[in-house]
Structure 1
Amino acid sequence: MSKAAAATLALVAFVSMIFIGQCNAALRIGFYKGKCQSIDVETTVFNVIKSKFKNDSTITAALLRLQFHDCFVTGCDASLLLDGKHSEKTAFPNLSVRGYEIIDAAKAAIEETCPDVVSCADIIAMATRDAVSLSGGGRYEVQTGRRDGNASSSANVFLPGPSDSISDAIDIFATKGLNSTDMVFLLGAHTVGVAHCSFVQDRLYNFQNTGKPDPSMDTKLVSKLRRTCPQDSGFNKTVNLDQNPLSSMTLDNSYYKQIISHKGILEIDQNLALDPLTKDKVNSIANSSDFSSKFGQVMVKLGALDVLTGNQGEIRRSCQKVN
């Protein structure tokens, strides 16, 4: 990277961090207390998520990804939820995002007793927190007070990719005011996620056009994944990003232990444990007992990205369209 480009990224990150600080001041814990008479907004959301989780524990991975994809583009404004011919939903990285109906269900439950008060953006943050808690990730306090954006464009979607180098990924996160440690923790969400075979094919069969698998992947894992993901298996089959079968649905630090053992599924996951820029932090998390609390802190930081508050934005009646 050129010195000029690095200087620009540093300036953007600095400005972003200032803005995040301002947003944290605007958001607060318990924002909705007293705004819905006797109705507890957070309990209402939790009850919806708990019901959904009982039938499908994979909603945790879905909601974590949904929140990240929303916040990382134009800020945590629920713009990802908006329908439209060229909305954020239609961008390629978002075609496999799911969980919209869960947010809609929580919104409907709140609107029934407390209409036009609670934003879809806040529901995303609360719902994701609740799913994390139900998956064993610990319960962190969510600041609320966000308002919803009223625009959504696929042209704005720029997200880190599964094959990005660690240095490039760090630079991308820096533009949002998130440092390398934040990035390492946020990627820990992969401990409850899955990847479609199409994202693993090159590492299994033709890594960097060598005609061979990625040498950084454990050979036994290569053989195992080839059975699940035969060549040209495409988008239909998936594999767990945390290859520990005992904790692939639990939000813990197992993911970090797996990538240290060369069992990372996505290239960026494996490189996280190999790159000098991040490997020490990976080792530290893998051997620590405070992943849950640290992960919650980073999720709060993510949830404060470029939020709309006060007279900005709107409170949508439907999360799928502007008022």
Structure 2
Amino acid sequence: METQNHTRVSEFLLLGFSDDPELQSLLFGLFLFLYLVTVLGNLLIILAVSSDPHLHSPMYFFLSNLSLADISISTTTIPKMLVNFQMHSKSITYAGCIAQVNFFALFACLESLLLTVMAYDRLVAICHPLYYLVIMNPHLCGLLVLASLSISFLNSLLHYMMITHLTFCAGVGLPHYFCEFSQLFNLSCSDTSISRILIHFIGIIFGGVPLSGVLYSYSRIISSILRLSSLGGRYKAFSTCGSHLSVVCLFYGTGIGVYISSALSSSPRKSAVASVMYTVVTPMLNPFIYSLRNKDIKSALWRISHRIA
């Protein structure tokens, strides 16, 4: 029998959540609303930090970069899904699928690393308050963000190298709303055993190490807070990192939940629904968590609204 090279398929099919046209119209409106709220909320955070001199500090510098990563994650996945809903299509080109995988790996890793950097920032602020501005100087802050971006590019490059070496013979329907890395592995007809081991190793390095850094930072922070004799001092110290801790729990909690549900659930559609929390809901909630719990952000947004009015 003559063999053919099927390494480069022309397109994939994103099967999404449902084939019901009425439900698709409902989902279009829902995800369009969530995307607009995500973009608007995070843009307001970036605008507040960049325009208000009171927010020109390391903590808010990292926060504005986190908001940019949130917008990028949502933009990587949601617009294509909205176009498919509107056009009653399920297709995505091979190049578009590879781009989704790469950009998602880039921005998800960047968000993880930024959360780690922000945990270190809170560690210095609480454990070494007198030396905070000396340690967290503008040069170090810029270097930490640049290092996070460089590591994220490396993670994206590794994903690109593994995806482009996969062979797809048939059955290019992905039971997901975006090109999710593990689903592409399931479609491949080549031997992926070594690649699966490698991707788990990459996940430990680029996901587990930042999480360990966050846990270490908060173990030091909690230990330092408990040594304070004043209850008011303890509350004030904990309130400075409460928003960040909430975002960390939301990001890693939903990410780990999606990973566990994908491993245990036999239904790919259920895994796709679970991924909504990780890729859509979390980026949308982050600006609300920071703005509702932070007086400085609320004051800056209030001043912006008065200037516009």
Give the TM-score of the pair, scaled to structure 1.
0.26
In our comparison, the structure showing a higher alpha carbon Rg is: 2
Give the helix-richer structure, 1 or 2: 2
